Structure 1
Amino acid sequence: MEKINERPKLFQFYTASDLWTDDHTSRQMLSLHLDEAVDVSSRNAEFIRRSVEWIASEFSIGKDSSIADFGCGPGLYATPLAKRGAHVTGIDFSARSIQHAREVADREQLNINYVKQNYLEFETDDPFDLALMIMCDFCALSPPQRKVVLDKFHKILKPTGSVLLDVYALSAFEQKQEVARYEVNQLDGFWSPNKYYGFLNTFKYDAEKVTLDKYTIIEMDRTRTVYNWLQYFSPEDLEKEFSAAGFSVKGLYSDVAGTPYDRGSNEFAVIADRV
């Protein structure tokens, strides 16, 4: 129990692959992606529709546009953007999500380049007009990982290219509470098809504005620990990271559907131009 309740050092462990590549949990994540009514793995279908409309307008998406979608999942953004004529490359390390995305592209006769890979390791010689990282993926990365991503964006974008991504705001951090919970078959069997005992420890790192949801899953034949780190940002701190990577912040919004920026919002989106 002491080990279960132990607070790790900041970003001490990185277990994203355990969530997205495990056969059972990746199946669960894909199911959540494809549930059009919920905001869990992806946002709901109506929001995505509005978001795509705004992105297409804001960045003048057309047949000559090239887009890199980091953490593309099952192609919920890549598909409608490709239907507008854009050349889209989607990168995700969930084999199940990529397989689904490719099946949709084949069925819709869309020429989308899907890459099954950790986007931290993605390399290409193709230049892009726009890089997307949606659903606050940026927040799940440590500072060194975020630097890798921003440097990668700068490298693959055209001189006039832009980044659009969203993050959790400090107002959301203030609402988080440290908790310790235990439940049989936690999250309705999300972690395993077999009986298991699930422990959740939520830790706050106040100085760094980071939270950790630490899940310990105990089954008959194995014990796993999954670490879900989230960084929360002020616009000023996010702008510093972009500036250090060679970007100029062009605009702030409350979300990736172009809602006007509200400092009290729990999330915000940023457009940054390569300089």
Structure 2
Amino acid sequence: MPVTIISLTLFAALLHATWNALLHGGTDRLWSMTIMCVAIAVTSAVVALFLPLPARASWKYALLSALLHVGYNWCLVRSYQSGELSQTYPVARGSSPLLITCAAALFAGEKIALHTLGGIVLVSSGILMLAFRTRRLAMPGVKQALATGAFIAAYSVADGIGVRLSGNALSYTVWMSMLWGGLMPALYISLRDSKSLLRWRPGLLSAAVGGLVSLLAYGIIIFAMDAAPMGAVSALRETSVLFVAMLGYLFFGEALTFRKLLACAVIVTGTLIMG
């Protein structure tokens, strides 16, 4: 992978960890996630006015990805309601790179170099090591986190194919994000009501900023998947768990153990092998 793509993907990983920490720190995570999506939809709609439409062949993938993103949001919120940030996040992120690599080979015809596959395995193994505590997975939120990982793999492959058919990575990103951001409030209203969504609450501004950070982070990832193998980009993106482990320690009082440090070393090794 080119050094530029690696650097951009690692920056996106930092952004991703930041908005997840903002979401985890909220008192009403479903509402916070929905506000993030509203900010994403509004920003994407404005940007879309200045861009050409993506190619028609990519439209079905944009819609599919938007629907999968809503499922991802719901599972992520549920996992954070019952588990620690530094436990559930690694399970969700660590389960996706190998799934994406297999799906990309099956549906997109990607051929993965042996050293890249080795790096992906190391990164995924290190991430999953972060999720273990005394040789056992922490039970709260694990099922939801695994479901989140499956949604990550599904929408990543859909976007990886869609962006390559779109003719314009930025156009594809903003249109998919606009669809995704518009669908999430519909889910919220179906589960609760419209009044509680529109009411002013503390944390509204931070949730909106989190949405913009999320949009930037995923836009970088889609750009990277247009230029490099999906599995490798996904594995690099999942190094966000390194930043999450540190944020969990600094802001949420979660332990930074030897096991976590060892897992970080495994992840860095895998990243260097892929690079």
Superposed pair shares fold, TM > 0.5:
no
Structure with the greater alpha carbon radius of gyration: 1
Higher strand share: 1
Q: TM-score, normalised by structure 1?
A: 0.30
Q: TM-score, normalised by structure 2?
A: 0.30
Higher relative contact order (CA 8 A, sep 6+): 2
Higher helix share: 2
